[in-house]
Homo-oligomer: A and B are copies of this chain.
Amino acid sequence: MTETPRPTDSHLHDVLQQIANEAQDLFGRGEVANYIPALAEVPARRFGMALAMVDGSSYTVGDAHTPFSLQSITKLFTFVLALKAVGEDLWTRVGREPSGAAFNSMVQLESERGIPRNPFINAGALVVTDILTSRYAHMDLAMLGALRRLTDDPALTWNVRIAKSERDTAHRNMALAYFMKSYGNFHNPPELVLDNYCRQCATEMTCTQLAQATMFLANGGVDLAKGSQPGEHVLSADAARRVNALMLTCGAYDASGDFAYRIGLPIKTGVGGGIVAIAPGRGTISVWSPELDAKGNSVLGAFALERLVQLTGWNHD
């Protein structure tokens, strides 16, 4: 707990502390992602959490200032960037239904002839990256610029070693890209798109940065970042609501229904152990803990969010 809470917010301070204490008991129940060596090196027993409120206040506990690998959480940002770039035309190339299958399955892609189910599974995020690769001379740098603006941190970057390690082992994602190309739903060379995709996945943020970067989704599309003009819109209020709806139905791979049932807030998870959640009209919550459950979501992160909504009622109207 590092920010200076205003007196009236001492409740949230206590809530975060209580959650952090309770969460300790869950260490050891999951496993750190090991599909690429560089990710597997992260210490397992880490836990950080940050709140950013629409009134500008913020709260943290634990390792909230340690950068971690965003991984699939970046799918949220690329999706927003593509939505701004091409608008609702996006939906001719990707669906918006929950996948009902593992995040990198080929089966559904085959039965639906190369149209991925939603932008938050790998195939969908690859199509989104393909769209952005067509749009920007250097899509990786355009993405980074957007994230730097949202976090107000000009030093934000991707981890070169993790990006390279992911690229070297991206066989399945290459298969997905070529498969969609065989259906005509991929316009750039898969090799190039995968370069961009692996860089974006390797972007690192702290919990506090992640909570700040997603503030526009809790705040009717309006950014609060210091570098922004006051009241600057990232998205329209309606578009922000729609992004939240997609996070609610598709944000946690094949555990999205379970997250909606237990937690009831729009979220996006990543195999780096991060989760970001949106409490519309209230604020954003980010949590990081590297141990993952069988569906690839952070064990302590899911617990922390479930406790937060129990203690605050933020999932009730």
Contacts and interface: CB of A to CB of B under 8 A. Distances in A.
Interface of A: 95-101, 105-110, 117-118, 171-172, 174-179, 181-182, 186, 190, 220, 237-238, 241-242, 245-246, 248-250, 254-258, 260-262, 264, 280-281, 315-317
Given A100-B97, A182-B175, A264-B242, A106 B108 contact: no
The residue among A237, A264, A281 with the most chain B CB atoms within 10 A of its own CB is A264
A164 to B, nearest CB: 17
Scoring A261, A262, A317 by chain B CB atoms within 10 A of each residue's CB, the highest score goes to: A261
Main secondary structure of the interface of A (DSSP, over half): helix
Count of chain copies? 4
14 contacts: A96-B258, A96-B261, A98-B249, A98-B256, A105-B110, A106-B109, A107-B110, A118-B257, A171-B179, A171-B182, A238-B316, A241-B315, A241-B316, A242-B261
B316 A317 contact: no
Contacts of A242: 261-262, 264
**Most-contacted residue by chain B among A95, A109, A260, A281 (CB, 10 A):** A260
B281 A317 contact: yes
Given A245-B261, A248-B248, 18 more contacts: A97-B100, A97-B257, A97-B258, A100-B101, A106-B109, A106-B179, A118-B257, A171-B178, A171-B179, A172-B179, A174-B175, A175-B175, A175-B177, A175-B178, A238-B316, A241-B315, A242-B264, A245-B260
A22 B97 CA distance: 27
Contacts of A176: 175
